[in-house]
Amino acid sequence: MDVLLANPRGFCAGVKRAILIVENALKIYKRTIYVKHELVHNQYVIKKLRKKGVIFVEKISDIPDNSIVVFSAHGVSKKTKEKAIKKKLIILNATCPLVTKVHKEVSKASEKSIETILIGHKGHPEVIGTLGQYNNENSKIHLIESIEDINKLPIKKNNTKLNFFTQTTLSIKYTQSIIKSLKKKFPYISGPKKEDICYATTNRQNAVVKLSNITDMILVIGSKNSSNSNRLAELGRETGVFTKQIESFSDIKEKWIKNIKYIGITAGASAPEFLVKQVVEYLQKMGAKKPKEMLGTKEKIIFNIPRYLTLPSHLKNYE
């Protein structure tokens, strides 16, 4: 069996930044760090941080006053931020800068009373945070998840003050078809030049399409609540290649790989590389050849952490 590794795969710049913020905060403050929601949607990342003493909460009210809180990479609503301020929490914001960019645009639309449509998945923390940037008594933000939802929108066809935005981790193909239908129904709608789907989502989805051309099975490493990982698995299946999403190597069933000649591996933006290595080791134990890295888009983007969270030299090698 040949093993092909997708490129790019795994951690994106937003996830790396969020993890570094928490790890450095632990070293600098030497106090309990609370994180609102899972910092990123990966079981192993969360487990590791929990071991270091990080406490994950869903509600700000569960955090004692004057504590340190980190907002997860998916971002929070304005109301959540206000609650944290009221409790006199020290806020460390690990929201990905690309999510913050959407927040700012939605907030601007709200201030200008521009009716807004957000394309995204109901209940996802990023969507909750983005919807929560809009607060206007005279106009509204509406969430749509599908093309079918467009016809249910209580918006006049020739509304000229209408905007749309998207979640950052959606399926590129499906989102484009939603936007096309939106533009058909609302000819005066405006929105981002492409959509708000980020570079990392785009590159990882393109890499899966490439994998699908040369493999007869794809393994996607990523937790069940990870939207971008779910989209990779969905895309794999759409290409017609047998695709399975796994948390780690221990989910792999021998019967899946029995007659497979070319197996592709990828990982969602929140899945650490050590999980890929474990899968490769497992496959090699089952007789697979040495893995080959596929060529793909090189990602050079780095998001800096706030200056006050960079480590002083005496803490740099501290583990």
Of 157, 201, 198, the C-alpha closest to 181 is 157
Site track for ligand SF4 across 62-81, x = CB under 6 A: -----------x--------
Among 96, 170, 265, 288, binds ligand 0O3 (CB under 6 A): 96
Among 227, 243, 245, 266, binds ligand 0O3 (CB under 6 A): 227
How many residues bind ligand 0O3 (CB under 6 A)? The answer is 18
Of 176, 228, 219, 174, the C-alpha closest to 198 is 228
Give ∠ CA 23-24-28 in degrees, rounded to 5.
125
126: buried, middle or exposed (CB in 10 Å: 19+, 13-18, 0-12)? buried
The answer to whether 226 is annotated as binding is yes
> Does 77 help bind ligand 0O3 (rule: CB under 6 A)?
no
Of 170, 248, 243, the C-alpha closest to 209 is 243
DSSP code string of 191-236: --SS-S--HHHHHHHHHHHHHHHH-SEEEEE--TT-HHHHHHHHHH
Chain positions 157 to 196 lying near ligand SF4, rule: CB under 6 A, are 168-169
The answer to whether 163 is annotated as binding is no
Q: Are 118 and 164 in contact (CB under 8 A)?
A: yes
The helix-helix angle for 43-51 and 13-29 (nearest 10°) equals 10
Quick one: which segment of 8-16, 156-164, 243-251, 311-319 binds ligand SF4 (CB under 6 A)? 8-16
The answer to whether 225 is annotated as binding is no
> Does 267 help bind ligand SF4 (rule: CB under 6 A)?
no
> Does 22 help bind ligand SF4 (rule: CB under 6 A)?
no
* Residue 113 vs 297, nearer CB to ligand SF4: 297
The answer to whether 74 is annotated as binding is yes
Q: Are 135 and 89 in contact (CB under 8 A)?
A: no
Site track for ligand SF4 across 88-127, x = CB under 6 A: --------x-xx----------------------------
- Looking up tokens 């939605």 gives 106
Site track for ligand 0O3 across 108-137, x = CB under 6 A: ------------------x-----------
Which residue among the candidates 23, 126, 234, 254 is catalytic per the annotation? 126
Could you confirm whether 281 is annotated as catalytic?
no
* Residue 6 vs 269, nearer CB to ligand 0O3: 269
Residue 189: name its binding partner from ligand SF4, ligand 0O3, none (Cβ under 5 to 8 Å by kind).
none
Closest-approach residue to ligand 0O3 (CB): 226
For residue 154 the two structure tokens come to 């209580």
SS3 content of the chain, % helix, strand, coil (to 5): 40, 15, 40
Residue 13: name its binding partner from ligand 0O3, ligand SF4, none (Cβ under 5 to 8 Å by kind).
ligand SF4
- Looking up tokens 């460390």 gives 92
CA dihedral 84, 90, 94, 99 (to 10 degrees): 40
Active-site positions read 126
Residues binding ligand 0O3 (CB under 6 A): 14-15, 40-41, 73-74, 96, 99, 126, 168-169, 226-229, 268-270
- Specify binding-site residues: 12, 41, 74, 96, 124, 168, 198, 226-228, 270
